[in-house]
Amino acid sequence: MSVQIGRRKVIFLQGNEACALGALAAGVDLFAGYPITPSSEIAEFLSESLPLVGGRFIQMEDEIASMAAVIGASLGGAKAMTATSGPGFSLMQENIGFACIAEVPCVIVNVQRAGPSTGLPTQPAQMDVMQTRWGTHGDHSIIALSPTTVLECFTMTIECVSLAERYRTPVVLLMDEVVAHMRENASLLGPADCGMASRPRPAAGLADYCPFGASGDGVPPLAAFGGEYRFHVTGLTHDPHGFPTMVPREVDDNIRRIVSKVESRVDELASYEEFMLEDADVLLVAYGSTSRVAKASVRELRRAGVRAGLLRPRTIWPFSQKRLRELAPRLRLVVVPEMNLGQLVLEVERALCGAVPVRHVGRVDGNLFDPGEITAFALREAGR
């Protein structure tokens, strides 16, 4: 497929193809990965396309090595990305933790499928929400976006690359099989339309370059490893120069600054879509492909006389808790449909602190919700 990025052009695309095109538009230099359903089309597309624009594609022996290659390429100055699904995402967690503490910008696309273990390789699920947030050990923060349309697979991939580069952190694009494999018309944009950012770079000729030193916004500049500056990178807690330390103050400063890069910007980073919320007192909270079904349910509930609305988190992590709390005083019920047994609903409950009844409806059979299923559940819980 020949597509010119940078011109607005309506094209009929699969979600995975749109993700790959977003990577090209964002200037991704290297993709390292291992084939796994339902994400394999991303690797397949980039294996052909990246070399044509001077980039590099490498198939590694497994997902552990794939994440390691992404980290190495990014430290060398490349914009680097990988794509996988739940089982591969599990294997990547140790190296994702390394990327967190070493502040390595990179993008991980996780096209979710059902589990545990091999589960249902070709069926949709939303079972990696909490693994995305807490999958790697230790105190850390994470940014994760969840697309709902094919166009968002494109624009959010660009956004993920931009966020990773801007804040020197791993960023996850948390897709699901339905969004990845459906096809829609999409009007492609250039990266400038999506607010592309670059990683902070140190000034030339510094006498004392601190690759992990505190800066005004908490994000230290990152030189290309092997370039002008020699510096140390480790998975151990480290001082501002990157050398291991056990000094309590230095350890505390290191961890708190890394976490604060994201947590101090929650209101800036967290984004969401609102649908028919103007007078709603029954709120659906849904993301990914489930949110498309939830919109139909909102319309059905409205026809049944229930003032329903939808809040769709675009950013799963950090979560849009501020907006939920703003809505709480006029709500009498919150319903969270997910293709799992209850993951993001826990964050909804935590955000509302008991101010509004929260009910979860889940599917784990490898099938997408039917709108009537969510509608019937919401009517029953609303006492209708």
DSSP 329-370: GG-SEEEEEESSSSSHHHHHHHHHTTSS-EEEEE--SS-PPP
d(CA 192, CA 199): 15
Whether the CB-CB separation of 271 and 238 falls below 8 Å is answered with no
Q: How many CB atoms lie within 10 A of CB 299?
A: 16
Under the banding of pLDDT at 50, 70 and 90, the label for residue 198 is confident
Q: Domains in the chain and their CATH numbers? A: 9-194 (3.40.50.970), 268-381 (3.40.50.920)
Task: Supply the mean pLDDT for the chain.
Answer: 94
Under the banding of pLDDT at 50, 70 and 90, the label for residue 194 is low
Rg (the chain; Cα; Å): 21
Average pLDDT score over residue span 116-136: 96
Report pTM. 0.95
